[in-house]
Structure 1
């Protein structure tokens, strides 16, 4: 076994040791989180994603007339904020 083989063996040992350590830390954290959830009375099962519901999901972007007018007014106020200035004004 040459020097290169010895170095590879040492590196493999270090990598596997690091991976095992990471796995132990991950298990510790999972146990801690599980204990916290249990204390709070939360479900231990992971909830599955809910199926797509066209009616419920597409209601998010609907605005009534009052909301639409308010958004337009706010956007017009932005024009006055950025109208003056430009590249000729200096900060100091």
Structure 2
């Protein structure tokens, strides 16, 4: 494992050799990282859309509510016959 001084010497040598091309190398590296992130995001989005179930459409005719026709005062629960006039 190189020590601190060895890393500094290596960095200086790299800077001398590639100093003029360093901005373009870093620019290309940044573009590569950006493209990689876009690819990861796209893949994650594809996975999410394939996992999520499709939305269920509501029925065209919603069920009607049932109304109670028994007399609330009648405690027996049986329907009384209607009075005929």
Q: Would you tell me which structure has more helix in proportion to its own residues?
A: 1
Q: Give the TM bin, normalised by the shorter chain.
A: 0.3 to 0.5
Q: Which has the higher contact order (CA 8 A, sep 6+)?
A: 2
Q: Calculate the TM-score normalised by the size of structure 2.
A: 0.41
TM value normalised by structure 1: 0.38
